[in-house]
Structure 1
């Protein structure tokens, strides 16, 4: 590219010429990239000596004049040679070359006479050399924006960014092949000083040694590199660029390029070489999905790696039904039966069996003992040295054992998974999942102290992930909100329900976390929202039940719990009766043998209805004892059972048993740090704590006094304040509904009671507030902080 006319106005460099012509040794190299002014300097030196410059790749004897040979090696030449005859004839040899060029024929001369080299730093302008030869603004731009590079003197005088980028492209990059150009583009994304790359010799050294300094030059280089990369369109160039991207651990970018140019088979090969299914854990999910979903149906049908990458992407997006359809279409309908897939001698590949294990997790399948035996047999096929695959296997076992309420076995599986991650040098995202699992495990069991440690480690691991992990942070926000709730601070959980729950629920979530989310989020809704909107939250979960049918029991049990808290026992019982397993007998023998998560939750919900019943029957104590003796009853549930015992003893006017059971429950809560269970059971707890003598007795123990203080803070919602102020649960409900503008008829429909009953409760509410009208009741309640 020709520079503007101002480029011909060169600064004289007499001092540099003197150094060049007076250099000792008889051989002088001007070795620097293009634009360093080598040609101009050589011509000036030749003119001073009264000779001409040789621009040939192989100088002739006639090019030696008066003992001088000024040899400007052509920029396009990769190598050049000086013949022995010329080398013996010349007395003073000056060679201008680029750093990557190889020159032969000089060994004897250099051995006996030595040489002097003027490198890029010596050829660049400095402030002392320029002096006052340039205006101050031009001098400053040349030195700061262009690092004193001689070729950019015209730009310092008359900046033109587009011309500068075009010049760089034609001068520095034109001889650079696709691979080095790609590596240069990757370096430009986050330039570091002194990269050890093959493209360094083609650029002014200032760009490599101080990449942040010459800003105008760096910006123009960005522009030129992008333009050159866009110009690579033939198959060979595209392949070389893709190989460079793959070597730089940018497989998605390599696949995008190959797919753009129709090289789908090569893109699939890159996916396979990049560990296929595991690549999703090292990539931004949006980037991964956009790339993977571009593969055609033809290659999906013939390439399992592509098939499982696509189905894994769909699973991440919560599209489990589409995953089932796609795998059944390409692998056969028997793929939907995990026992057939995992059986010894199965026709399915190892990759297909691994993916079926992933599907089992998303399907919320609780493995039977027979299934676990099949999984044990499948372990025999796992590659001994692949730590990541083994870690993933134990992560699956961790999920399954949480569902089976085998918490010790789950912790052992987590420990094995983390051991394998340490063997491969760690994997922050996958380790995050392990520690998040452990947080859920401990909170589900009721040990909030251990959960806090696991949650902090999970946050630390997630902070080490270098690509966006938006959904994973939502998972973390949920467990951190649950921990805050357990510490008597429910607002964080309420905020999660308001702002993040919908987005959280739409994506892929392993089911034990989804059940966990329903448990805590529904509790926040029950505690802090009016009765009129609570069913709406739980009804909204039905959107997720089409693909996660095992959530049905959890959602209905939580709905029944909401009814129980409202005193609507008959409706709670009716809902529980419609669930699978409800026909099973509520006998001590049966309760003691329960193993499945949903069966235990259902039995606890049914037992809670019995505890609320004014006449629970003589068997109630034996039923509670049976659940307390069940090895799969969690520590959290044990606290609830103790509170129920205290409630029953209080109704029997057995003060000693009431104090004993309540003290045991509060002591357990203090030890475990799971203060949220007190809020969840306040229907039974509040009447006990309102008794002055009971409270005085309990508060003699410092730990229990602190526990009760946290409990009091956790129920400081307006509705809880209303209850603490003397309103009944029904009156608190009515207060919220009249504040929402509900007329008596709609209140009756909402609460499933008769209108005269509404009027009766309202009259009692008005009396307690000392008012006669709705507007006055609302005003008074707001003044008290009850609304």
Structure 2
């Protein structure tokens, strides 16, 4: 036993009997106690000295006795070490790991050396309980890990003193590369380190991966150790040789932003560019986020950033992520020439453009206004054949791009197939944001097919992927929020979408948005505003997208079509006819009426949507027209319809059949459609056709046929209770339609400015209606008005 200065009580003595006995029991002629400073080597040697009755020497000499206790001082603190180890006595040596003793390796090879590692010098719980109550010993062990230097410092130790000790005594002689490995071990659990990565780092040199709990003594001083480590690395950064070593080590562990920044700090541009390539190039933003991409590009001189291919492509993807397609084109044209604007020309010019450039232009198809035909699909797959079989990142991204194209073309079976292929590749590279995009698209596919349960399942998976991302990605979080709001709206829950439209849609419009999701935003957003506010509010919403999405021209037609539908939903059929008639499209009213079965072969998304607009118009204005039921049936044979488009057309068909006195066929068709919608919980798809449904369900016979199914009764009740159904109750309570709309906006937390924008009126008008609303509800505040409305079931 001995006294340990500073351990709670200066007179406490902690026994090391077991360790002393273990050392003396070694049968080899040489025993080496190898541990860094602060582990109590000298204390242990004094314990051995007392046990043997021998003095401890700082120099090697052969005493008359059989044992020599040699406490080797730190290098530089004594004269040169002996060139030979004596063979006439037993040696017990205490030394630091970085101290090399001539002849020791040779003796080790011949089996003459036993080693006592640093871990063996840690005080155990049994050691501490020899002098402390078990509870206190347990607490001491938790706070120190049994490390002698921490025990000696006691509970009142200065953090700064500990940092200085760790920096000077523990880290000073650790090689720079291993310091980086230690930083990874401390800050990136699960990262593979490799054999020997932490050699000479106390208590860590046996670890090959930064997984599992840290060793007790390291965990006990982790904060101070991190500070000491950061200071040591900062000091070594003054030497370009060390900076290179740090950068290469960071790259080895996949810390490419840090590696590139280090190379840039010493002007080693080619090494920095190589690190950009290793990081994935255009996929850098997906691995590390937009802020890291910005810093990486800004760290290069302009002449390199505007010429080096990996940086040019990185700048282009940066522009796309900001929603600036025009800028992306300009970046490519400035570097690769005017042909870079034409996807087909770039993909075909193998001798002119590298695989990376051609592949990037293929990826851009997802954002471009370009006709998708079979020849283009074939060209894309030819490009896939050039990608190495093990290039999971680019292969996954190829299928990701094709996924968007197939969704746009309404080829849902093929879209689902490539989504699965993309997911397989992305799982191998572990880039969560890319896997997020796949689940996001798979959710969209299911929603377009009418499967709300499947859509919710994939959106939940997308949320789980988003949670894994290590950088901030507010734009992608908004995409998921929009998708979930659309799913909720389809199932009859309007609040999330209305809240999104009043608070987040502007931020969405100013950033990147996947085209398939933008289609949902336009479809569900215009429907929600039309149902809960007015056709003017829906048109105002669409007009805003015309301005902000001039860079996504492929949606001009869809925006116009949704405006026509909004007018139709507002019972403004002549105005809707005139607006549709003014559109630049070959799918005119005359084209539809003459096409007959040809409607089944339309494939373009906007052509199909336009045909639906005209069939809807005819169903409302000329339901008895000869051949109209056959035309609707022909379009129902079209494989490019979404689930909600198909349900809508089926309702028009039932309506037309009833007006043509084909009652039994009408009832059968409407029952099948209602049952299908009920099984999918597709409330919004039915509610947009409430004009036709209301007319048919007013008939007693039709209501009885539909009422035989509990599920159908439930979903029809939901359709009735949403939108105008609530407004009707509000009017019966004495509120005007405008007051009810404002009340609904209040429930979503809308400001006067936001409500005015949604409704297409001035803020003064909103204030006027609010004053009347408060008076009718007997309230004085917005919150009280909402609570009173909920109590009267005016908000559902």
Scaled by the length of structure 2, what TM-score is found?
A: 0.81
Whole-Å Cα distance in 1 between the matches of residues 374 and 152 of structure 2? 80
Residues 1:659 and 2:659 aligned together? no
Whole-Å Cα distance in 1 between the matches of residues 317 and 159 of structure 2? 46
Q: Judging changes above 3 Å, is the alpha-carbon distance between structure 1 residues 49 and 264 closer, same or farther for their aligned structure 2 residues? A: same
Say whether the 8 Å CA contact 1:87–1:106 is kept in structure 2. Answer: no
Q: Judging changes above 3 Å, is the alpha-carbon distance between structure 1 residues 739 and 268 closer, same or farther for their aligned structure 2 residues? A: closer
Which of 439, 447, 453 is the matching residue for 1:443? 447
Q: Judging changes above 3 Å, is the alpha-carbon distance between structure 1 residues 682 and 141 closer, same or farther for their aligned structure 2 residues? A: closer
Alpha-carbon shift at residue 355 of structure 1 (Å): 0.7
Match of 1:323 in 2: 328
Match of 1:568 in 2: 572
Match of 1:29 in 2: 32
Match of 1:596 in 2: 604
Say whether the 8 Å CA contact 1:207–1:218 is kept in structure 2. Answer: no
Which of 284, 291, 305 is the matching residue for 1:279? 284
- 1:149-198 deviation line (CA, Å, top 9, x unaligned): 33345521741110110111000000012111111112111568998654
Match of 1:94 in 2: 92
Match of 1:523 in 2: 527
Larger radius of gyration: 1
Alpha-carbon shift at residue 708 of structure 1 (Å): 3.4
Match of 2:478 in 1: 474
Match of 2:705 in 1: 697
Whole-Å Cα distance in 2 between the matches of residues 111 and 368 of structure 1? 72
Alpha-carbon shift at residue 352 of structure 1 (Å): 0.5
Which of 510, 514, 536 is the matching residue for 1:510? 514
Say whether the 8 Å CA contact 1:391–1:420 is kept in structure 2. Answer: yes
Match of 1:678 in 2: 686
Say whether the 8 Å CA contact 1:293–1:310 is kept in structure 2. Answer: no
Q: Judging changes above 3 Å, is the alpha-carbon distance between structure 1 residues 614 and 778 closer, same or farther for their aligned structure 2 residues? A: farther
Q: Judging changes above 3 Å, is the alpha-carbon distance between structure 1 residues 345 and 146 closer, same or farther for their aligned structure 2 residues? A: closer
Say whether the 8 Å CA contact 1:595–1:632 is kept in structure 2. Answer: yes
Residues 1:374 and 2:379 aligned together? yes
Whole-Å Cα distance in 1 between the matches of residues 727 and 556 of structure 2? 33
Residues 1:554 and 2:558 aligned together? yes
Residues 1:390 and 2:395 aligned together? yes
- 1:48-106 deviation line (CA, Å, top 9, x unaligned): 86757234xxx5xx66566654433343489997545x513x42423111235444435
Which of 586, 590, 593 is the matching residue for 2:592? 586
The 3-state SS of whatever aligns with 1:302 is coil
Residues 1:72 and 2:75 aligned together? no
- 1:549-586 deviation line (CA, Å, top 9, x unaligned): 22222222222222222222233233323322067433
Match of 1:173 in 2: 171
Stretch moving more, 374-383 or 303-312: 374-383
Whole-Å Cα distance in 2 between the matches of residues 724 and 356 of structure 1? 54
Alpha-carbon shift at residue 629 of structure 1 (Å): 3.8
Whole-Å Cα distance in 2 between the matches of residues 463 and 499 of structure 1? 23
Alpha-carbon shift at residue 224 of structure 1 (Å): 0.5
Say whether the 8 Å CA contact 2:530–2:536 is kept in structure 1. Answer: no
Match of 1:105 in 2: 103
Say whether the 8 Å CA contact 1:428–1:462 is kept in structure 2. Answer: yes
The 3-state SS of whatever aligns with 1:28 is strand
Match of 2:766 in 1: none
Whole-Å Cα distance in 1 between the matches of residues 173 and 729 of structure 2? 82
- Flag structure 1 segments of 5+ consecutive residues without an equivalent: 742-746, 753-772
Whole-Å Cα distance in 2 between the matches of residues 64 and 776 of structure 1? 106
Scaled by the length of structure 1, what TM-score is found?
A: 0.81
Say whether the 8 Å CA contact 1:591–1:626 is kept in structure 2. Answer: yes
Alpha-carbon shift at residue 339 of structure 1 (Å): 1.7
Say whether the 8 Å CA contact 1:149–1:204 is kept in structure 2. Answer: no
Q: 1:237-252 maps to which residues of 2 (within 5 A)?
A: 237-252=242-257
Which of 489, 494, 500 is the matching residue for 1:490? 494
Say whether the 8 Å CA contact 2:320–2:328 is kept in structure 1. Answer: yes
Say whether the 8 Å CA contact 2:706–2:713 is kept in structure 1. Answer: no
Whole-Å Cα distance in 2 between the matches of residues 724 and 649 of structure 1? 32
The 3-state SS of whatever aligns with 2:613 is helix
Q: Judging changes above 3 Å, is the alpha-carbon distance between structure 1 residues 325 and 138 closer, same or farther for their aligned structure 2 residues? A: same
Q: 1:142-221 maps to which residues of 2 (within 5 A)?
A: 143-152=141-150, 154-156=152-154, 158-190=156-188, 197-199=196-198, 201-203=200-202, 211=215, 217-221=221-225
Whole-Å Cα distance in 1 between the matches of residues 170 and 695 of structure 2? 83
- 1:444-470 deviation line (CA, Å, top 9, x unaligned): 243445545544554555556565554
Match of 2:656 in 1: 648
Say whether the 8 Å CA contact 1:611–1:648 is kept in structure 2. Answer: yes
The 3-state SS of whatever aligns with 2:353 is coil
Q: Judging changes above 3 Å, is the alpha-carbon distance between structure 1 residues 110 and 64 closer, same or farther for their aligned structure 2 residues? A: farther
The 3-state SS of whatever aligns with 2:144 is coil
Q: 1:357-436 maps to which residues of 2 (within 5 A)?
A: 357-418=362-423, 420=425, 424=428, 428-436=432-440
The 3-state SS of whatever aligns with 1:94 is strand
Say whether the 8 Å CA contact 2:652–2:692 is kept in structure 1. Answer: yes
Q: Judging changes above 3 Å, is the alpha-carbon distance between structure 1 residues 438 and 15 closer, same or farther for their aligned structure 2 residues? A: closer
Whole-Å Cα distance in 2 between the matches of residues 515 and 118 of structure 1? 69
Q: Judging changes above 3 Å, is the alpha-carbon distance between structure 1 residues 687 and 49 closer, same or farther for their aligned structure 2 residues? A: same
The 3-state SS of whatever aligns with 2:94 is strand
Whole-Å Cα distance in 2 between the matches of residues 529 and 270 of structure 1? 54
Q: Judging changes above 3 Å, is the alpha-carbon distance between structure 1 residues 35 and 502 closer, same or farther for their aligned structure 2 residues? A: same
Aligned-residue CA RMSD (Å): 4.4
Whole-Å Cα distance in 1 between the matches of residues 622 and 16 of structure 2? 108
Whole-Å Cα distance in 2 between the matches of residues 129 and 735 of structure 1? 76
Whole-Å Cα distance in 1 between the matches of residues 743 and 126 of structure 2? 85
- 1:479-524 deviation line (CA, Å, top 9, x unaligned): 3333333333333333443444333333322212211221122222
Alpha-carbon shift at residue 379 of structure 1 (Å): 3.5
Stretch moving more, 573-582 or 296-305: 573-582
Residues 1:538 and 2:542 aligned together? yes
- 1:252-297 deviation line (CA, Å, top 9, x unaligned): 2212333344433322111112222233333334334433444332
Q: 1:216-231 maps to which residues of 2 (within 5 A)?
A: 217-231=221-235
The 3-state SS of whatever aligns with 1:202 is coil
Stretch moving more, 661-670 or 617-626: 617-626
Q: Judging changes above 3 Å, is the alpha-carbon distance between structure 1 residues 134 and 525 closer, same or farther for their aligned structure 2 residues? A: same
Q: Judging changes above 3 Å, is the alpha-carbon distance between structure 1 residues 126 and 421 closer, same or farther for their aligned structure 2 residues? A: closer
Whole-Å Cα distance in 2 between the matches of residues 775 and 278 of structure 1? 54
Match of 2:752 in 1: none
Q: Judging changes above 3 Å, is the alpha-carbon distance between structure 1 residues 498 and 239 closer, same or farther for their aligned structure 2 residues? A: same
Say whether the 8 Å CA contact 2:648–2:685 is kept in structure 1. Answer: yes
- 1:106-130 deviation line (CA, Å, top 9, x unaligned): 5787799956655435544567767
- Flag structure 2 segments of 5+ consecutive residues without an equivalent: 208-212, 747-755, 762-771, 779-784
Alpha-carbon shift at residue 475 of structure 1 (Å): 3.0
The 3-state SS of whatever aligns with 1:71 is strand
Whole-Å Cα distance in 2 between the matches of residues 676 and 186 of structure 1? 51
Q: Judging changes above 3 Å, is the alpha-carbon distance between structure 1 residues 395 and 120 closer, same or farther for their aligned structure 2 residues? A: closer
Whole-Å Cα distance in 1 between the matches of residues 89 and 49 of structure 2? 14
